[in-house]
């Protein structure tokens, strides 16, 4: 959720930190602030609302030059989005300033302790407690790193803390537990941030931190210890995308840019994953073939869009491998006491690799001795590190809060996993697997054809910008696509939208149909005639009751012509792979309708890109 940036180096700390926060705006926030170390004191400003409010305040009352600073974009949890509750927070004497991502679960007890000792806290936040505790430690003679270790060990919950001390102007100290934090390694400068996007303009070399570790950065060095003070050697990695990948490139929204990047992203997700004969080679899957053959149940766990990718994966994996596959919402997984054994494979899908609910789910799975495989886009993030195996999606940065290329590359990773399991377990012949791989390789071109005709979808969206409700219907692998289409519209347009399995219509939802209601209908390929014909029958039923049918059907399918008020053609594909193309017009529709309504497409209200608290 929140964005964090810290900097020590030769440049203006204010400029580096504020620009870093700007690159983290996609994470979602409701206030912003900075704190700099200058001439033995902490100086700074913080404002509720968008970063523009902070920019305006800093322009009107400039801060003095500094080369050490921290900044924060806050998503309110404890206390509303006000100037007072915005970060950074300071200790009682103003010597220490802190920014924080996550939730300190025992803050009420700690606050009561501080107040009993005479501390006066100005805000409603849990973060200010950490600032007072840190300042108490450094005032007693501890250096900032030692103070951070002592305080972090007392805190309960998930958090990243980043702090500066007016008496130590050459350093920034940070602590991480179950919340994202990465170190940027520059030449005579170093960075800490929630995401590499914050410092990608300056360096593409980074270090990943483990759980319960404290990092100190100065101009010249980075040192890491655990909470006991034992030195730790962090893992270095190189970011394989550059600044241009995080910029809009002529598009009005990052989300629209990312929709149009999908052909390239899907192609990248397939690179190096198979040989010329179509035989799969997933080097990241660090499981032996014997371990894979022993798997007798698969449980996919995820949230939001990733959950819908998992629902598609269930159809493919069960069909190709004959292994029973369940799909679980991550935030429900451990609370229902799932049945797990050493032969259960838990597949965790998360774009960021930091989704708190999914992280807690895999920890529960590992405690039950199940195997865990992560599907993730973010190298160095927590979920892949804590998993037994990983398939990276290689989608590049996804800035828009509403996931698009994240979803389609997750689908590709799920397909690759299913085919790899089928290959190892010999449940599909080699030529059958190669045929599916060939079709996957053709998907970027098919997706590009849809994007080349985006104006057709845009026209429908603009025409329907004032509707109050939209329904989405699908069958088989098209049902999760319907759910995803409805989610995108809810996220961006703030109108009622629901996805249904078309077979459920007569069991209740058909009562919602009224004259003129737009209904998207995702028609299965004709190769599955029993599914296709039942879907066409459902379209006839809702149209007879006044629905305005927007039919997504493959090219050449003339059977739907008479029942479609609007017909959106997609390239012909096999049933299991059709979601890769069927979802594209739904993404375009949601993006354009939200634009027509005047909404902020990249930063929808009340939403954050990465949900890092439960």
Rg (CA), the chain: 25
E-strand stretches of 39-181: 41-48, 68-74, 89-90, 96-104, 157-165, 168-177
Count Cβ atoms within 10 A of the Cβ of residue 507 and give its class: 0-12 exposed, 13-18 middle, 19 or more buried.
exposed
Active site includes 609?
yes
CA distance 480 to 554: 18
**Residue of 46, 371, 488, 609 marked active site:** 609
**Residue of 2, 376, 414, 591 marked active site:** 2
**Number of neighbours of residue 550 by Cβ within 10 angstroms:** 24
Counting every residue written for the chain, the total comes to: 614
Q: What is the full DSSP assignment across 21-57?
A: HHHTGGG--SEEEEEEEETTEEEEEEEES-HHHHHHH
Long-range own/partner contacts, residues 481-485 (CB < 8 A, 24 or more apart): 481/308, 481/312, 481/522, 481/578, 481/579, 481/582, 481/583, 481/586, 482/520, 482/522, 483/308, 483/311, 484/305, 484/308, 484/407, 484/583, 484/586, 485/520, 485/522, 485/583, 485/586, 485/587, 485/589, 485/590
Structure tokens of 276?
Answer: 């010329």
Cβ within 8 Å of residue 529, ≥6 positions away: none
**Number of neighbours of residue 544 by Cβ within 10 angstroms:** 10
**Number of neighbours of residue 209 by Cβ within 10 angstroms:** 24
Q: Assess contact for 353 and 386: CB atoms under 8 A.
A: no
CA distance 228 to 91: 24
**Number of neighbours of residue 393 by Cβ within 10 angstroms:** 28
Q: Assess contact for 87 and 122: CB atoms under 8 A.
A: no
Structure tokens of 448?
Answer: 């590009």
Cβ within 8 Å of residue 106, ≥6 positions away: 154, 155, 156, 157
Count Cβ atoms within 10 A of the Cβ of residue 244 and give its class: 0-12 exposed, 13-18 middle, 19 or more buried.
exposed
Structure tokens of 162?
Answer: 């980043």
Could you tell me the CA-to-CA distances from 351 to 39, 53, 283 in Å, in that order?
42, 30, 20
Rounded to a whole number, what is the distance in angstroms from the first to the last CA of the chain? 11
The residues annotated as belonging to the active site are: 2, 609
């Amino acid at each position: 959720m929140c964005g964090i940036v810290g900097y020590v180096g030769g440049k203006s700390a204010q400029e580096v930190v504020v620009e870093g926060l700007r690159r983290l705006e996609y994470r979602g926030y409701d206030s912003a602030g900075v704190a700099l170390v200058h001439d033995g004191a902490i100086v700074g400003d913080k404002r509720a609302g968008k970063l523009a409010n902070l920019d305006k305040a800093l322009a009107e009352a400039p801060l003095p030059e500094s080369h050490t600073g921290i900044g924060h974009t806050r998503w309110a949890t404890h206390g509303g989005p006000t100037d007072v509750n915005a970060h950074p927070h300071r200790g009682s004497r103003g010597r220490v300033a802190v920014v924080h991502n996550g939730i300190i679960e025992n803050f009420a007890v700690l606050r009561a302790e501080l107040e009993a000792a005479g501390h006066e806290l100005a805000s409603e936040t849990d973060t200010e407690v950490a600032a007072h505790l840190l300042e108490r430690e450094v005032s007693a003679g501890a250096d900032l790193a030692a103070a951070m270790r002592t305080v972090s060990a007392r805190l309960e919950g998930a958090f990243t803390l980043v702090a500066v001390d007016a008496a130590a102007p050459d350093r920034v100290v940070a602590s991480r537990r179950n919340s994202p934090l990465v170190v940027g390694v520059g030449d005579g400068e170093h960075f800490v941030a929630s995401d590499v996007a914050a410092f990608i303009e300056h360096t593409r070399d980074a270090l990943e931190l483990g759980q319960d570790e404290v990092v100190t950065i100065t101009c010249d060095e980075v040192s890491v210890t655990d909470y006991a003070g034992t030195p730790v050697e962090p893992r270095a990695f190189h970011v394989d995308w550059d600044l241009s990948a995080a910029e809009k490139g002529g598009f009005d929204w990052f989300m629209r840019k990312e929709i149009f990047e999908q052909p390239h992203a899907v192609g990248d997700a397939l690179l190096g994953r198979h040989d010329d004969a179509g035989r799969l080679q997933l080097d990241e899957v660090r499981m032996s073939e014997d371990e894979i053959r022993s798997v007798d149940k698969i449980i996919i766990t995820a949230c939001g869009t990733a959950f819908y990718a998992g629902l598609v994966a269930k159809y493919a994996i069960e069909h190709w491998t004959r292994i029973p596959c369940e799909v679980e919402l991550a935030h429900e997984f451990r609370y229902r006491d799932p049945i797990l054994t050493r032969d259960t494979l838990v597949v965790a899908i998360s774009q960021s690799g930091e989704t708190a609910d999914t992280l807690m789910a895999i920890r529960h799975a590992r405690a039950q001795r199940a195997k865990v495989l992560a599907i993730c886009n973010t190298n160095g993030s927590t979920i892949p590190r804590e998993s037994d195996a990983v398939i990276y999606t290689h989608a590049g940065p996804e800035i828009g809060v509403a996931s698009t290329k994240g979803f389609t590359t997750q689908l590709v990773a799920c397909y690759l996993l299913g085919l790899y399991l089928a290959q190892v377990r010999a449940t599909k012949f080699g030529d059958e697997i190669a045929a599916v791989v060939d079709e996957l390789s053709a998907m970027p071109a098919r997706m590009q054809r849809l994007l080349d005709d985006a104006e057709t979808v845009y026209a429908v969206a603009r025409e329907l910008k004032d509707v109050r409700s939209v329904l989405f219907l699908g069958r088989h692998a098209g049902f999760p696509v319907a759910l995803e289409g409805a989610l995108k519209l809810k996220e961006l347009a703030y109108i009622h939208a629901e996805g249904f399995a078309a077979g459920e219509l007569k069991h209740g939802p058909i009562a919602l149909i009224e004259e003129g209601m737009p209904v998207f209908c995702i028609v299965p390929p004709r190769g599955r005639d029993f599914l296709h014909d039942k879907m066409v029958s459902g379209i006839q039923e809702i149209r007879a009751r006044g629905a305005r049918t927007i039919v997504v059907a493959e090219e050449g399918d003339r059977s739907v012509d008479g029942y479609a008020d609007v017909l959106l053609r997609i390239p012909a594909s096999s049933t299991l792979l059709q979601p890769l193309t069927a979802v594209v017009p739904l993404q375009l529709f949601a993006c354009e309708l939200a634009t027509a309504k005047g909404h902020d497409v990249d930063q929808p209200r009340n939403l954050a890109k990465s949900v890092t608290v439960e």
